[in-house]
Amino acid sequence: MAVLLSGEGTNFAAIANAAASGEIPIDIVSVLSDRPGARGLERARALGVRTVALPPKSFPDRAAHDAALIAAIDASGARLVVLAGYMRIFQPAFIARYAGRLLNIHPSLLPAYRGLDTHRRAIADGTPWHGCTVHFVTDELDGGPLIAQARVPVHAADTPDSLATRVHAREHVLYPRVIGWYASGRLKARDGTVWFDGEPLSAPLVLEDTDASA
């Protein structure tokens, strides 16, 4: 597996911990970032994982940057690509290259609150539930087939920061679990549909529903 990140790398750390403990059958072969100073790269180096920094300003355009990413990922031997707080939008050629093996986690209960600033928007709308979603990546921003979600209640006293803290805690459980399903062959994408344990999903799995059998 290769991980792409832009910031702190807390989801990467959760995935790496799950892999190191044997919870998920995955080998992280590379961590890549568009920001050379990203904290997530430091976390990866501390664990002995190969890191690659590809700042966009070093390339003439987005297509050239994506091509360099593809070359680095393919050279690592990764068969699964995981976005863990990677803050750039890909060109269609990148997404096509890894179709069905490119995962992302988004801090909302998709299809609600695509894009940025999800926690503030959820509070402003007065929604009772917020959370996170893991999905396969397609050309549609935050619009690929949904795999699984974890919910948290929105409290009256919540701020965007307090809500984000609780959502992050659920992300750190949900993302490693979904990656484990993929690595063990339980999860696949086929013709725009998510298949889990040999059956097509009509709705995303909910973390609480899978706890007993995980």
Q: Which pLDDT does position 47 carry in this prediction?
A: 97
Q: How far is 92 from 66, CA to CA, in rounded Å?
A: 10
Q: Which pLDDT does position 212 carry in this prediction?
A: 45
Sorted by sequence, the CB contacts under 8 Å of residue 193 that are 6+ apart come out as: 145, 200, 201
Q: Residue 60 sits in a domain of what CATH number?
A: 3.40.50.170
Q: Which pLDDT does position 12 carry in this prediction?
A: 98
Beta strands of 29-181 (E only): which ranges?
Answer: 30-33, 51-53, 81-83, 102-106, 129-136, 146-153
74 and 23 within one domain:
yes
124 and 71 within one domain:
no
Quick one: which of 82, 67, 79, 71 has its CA closest to 31? Answer: 82
Verify whether residue 106 is a known catalytic residue.
Answer: yes
161 and 114 within one domain:
yes
Q: How far is 52 from 26, CA to CA, in rounded Å?
A: 19
Q: Which pLDDT does position 214 carry in this prediction?
A: 42
Tell me the average pLDDT of the chain: 96
- Of the residues 106, 130, 135, 172, which is catalytic? 106
Domain extent for 204: 107-133+147-214
90 and 15 within one domain:
yes
Residue range 145-165, pLDDT digits in tens? 999 999 999 999 999 999 999
